[in-house]
């Protein structure tokens, strides 16, 4: 027997898919990446040692493929989380894998007294720290862009923009595609202008040529690309400024 609901099921499903991931899911994903990197580091270091006296055990032989499999699975699972949280970046996932690999390589190298492998482990740990700093810089940059957009939406001139080139074809594979979308609008003097914005377009919410959207620009400098805000482009950003009243 069918039921009628007062809630749009498609909108509800889309809202659920776009909900920010919970701390537990993010934490488990990071743990998988650390463990995968650690096993890969341990296995690689022991297998690269001199095996004339003690050949690598079965556990050691299995550590590398198991570790690499966990790392690949962790990175694949990390991807969708990036689209749903403003605090996550690809650098954090890579940092988790690098820190696990560095720790596994360094500790094992100390046990087998391999100076070369020990340096590799330390190098991976340094790389992990650098990736974390990079992710922090990227997050602060997204915050700055969002604040600038919010200010322009309050003080700029609002008009209507049209998608002149969506930048991708209907045959594009995957649930989402990263592309450059071209918008066109007319300023207060009637001059037609174009602006391009990189966007992550989901197949569930496609963009079409001729689609309209709100656009804000600086009336004193309408040609300044950095002072142009496109509402449709903001929807693909992981940090969204509030909608102006």
User: pLDDT confidence of 213, banded at 50, 70, 90?
Assistant: very high
Beta strands in the chain (DSSP E): 157-165, 176-186, 192-202, 212-217, 228-230
Q: Pairing mode, if any, of strands 176-186 and 157-165?
A: antiparallel
CB 32 within 8 A of CB 74: yes
CB 149 within 8 A of CB 156: no
Cα–Cα distance for residue pair 113/107, rounded to 1 Å: 10
- Total Cβ atoms within 10 A of residue 144: 11
Cα–Cα distance for residue pair 111/106, rounded to 1 Å: 9
Burial of 102 by CB count in 10 Å (0-12 exposed, 13-18 middle, 19+ buried)?
A: buried
pLDDT tens-digit readout, 146-156: 888 888 898 99
- Residue 135 is encoded by which pair of tokens? 């992710």
Its sign, for the CA torsion 152, 153, 157, 159, is positive
pLDDT tens-digit readout, 70-112: 999 999 998 888 777 767 888 999 999 999 999 999 999 998 8
User: pLDDT confidence of 1, banded at 50, 70, 90?
Assistant: very low
pLDDT tens-digit readout, 10-62: 555 555 555 667 889 999 999 999 999 999 999 999 888 755 456 667 777 88
Cα–Cα distance for residue pair 112/145, rounded to 1 Å: 49
User: pLDDT confidence of 210, banded at 50, 70, 90?
Assistant: very high
pLDDT recorded at residue 10 = 54
Q: Could you tell me what percent of the chain has a pLDDT over 90?
A: 50
Confidence check: pLDDT of 236 > 70 = no
Cα–Cα distance for residue pair 243/76, rounded to 1 Å: 33
pLDDT tens-digit readout, 116-145: 999 999 999 999 999 999 999 988 888 888
pLDDT recorded at residue 15 = 54
Cα–Cα distance for residue pair 181/203, rounded to 1 Å: 15
- Residue 125 is encoded by which pair of tokens? 């740990």
- Average pLDDT value for residue range 3-13: 56
Strand order in the sheet with 192-202: 192-202, 176-186, 157-165, 212-217, 228-230
- Average pLDDT value for residue range 190-207: 87
0.85 surpassed by pTM: no
Confidence check: pLDDT of 8 > 60 = no
Residue 82 gets the label, from left (phi > 0), alpha (psi -120 to 50) or beta, of alpha
Confidence check: pLDDT of 239 > 90 = no
């Amino acid at each position: 027997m069918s039921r009628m609901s007062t809630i749009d099921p498609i909108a509800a499903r889309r809202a659920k898919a776009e909900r920010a991931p919970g701390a537990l899911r993010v934490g488990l994903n990071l743990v998988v990446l650390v463990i995968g990197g650690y096993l890969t580091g341990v296995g690689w270091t022991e297998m690269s040692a001199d095996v004339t006296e003690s050949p690598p055990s079965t556990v050691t032989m299995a550590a590398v493929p198991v570790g690499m499999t966990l790392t690949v699975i962790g990175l694949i699972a990390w991807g969708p989380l990036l689209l749903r949280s403003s605090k996550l970046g690809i650098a954090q996932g890579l940092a988790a894998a690098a820190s696990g690999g560095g720790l596994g390589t360094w500790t094992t190298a100390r046990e087998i007294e391999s100076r070369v492998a020990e340096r590799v482990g330390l190098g991976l740990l340094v790389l992990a720290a650098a990736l974390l700093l990079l992710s922090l810089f990227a997050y602060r940059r997204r915050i700055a862009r969002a604040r600038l957009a919010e200010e322009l939406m309050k003080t700029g001139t609002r008009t209507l923009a049209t998608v002149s080139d969506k930048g991708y074809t209907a045959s594009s594979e995957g649930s989402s595609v990263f592309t450059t979308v071209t918008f066109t609008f007319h300023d207060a003097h009637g001059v037609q202008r174009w602006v391009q914005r990189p966007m992550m377009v989901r197949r569930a919410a496609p963009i079409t040529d001729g689609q309209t959207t709100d656009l804000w620009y600086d009336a004193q400098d309408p040609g300044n690309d950095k002072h142009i805000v496109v509402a449709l482009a903001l929807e693909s950003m992981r940090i969204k400024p509030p909608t102006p009243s």
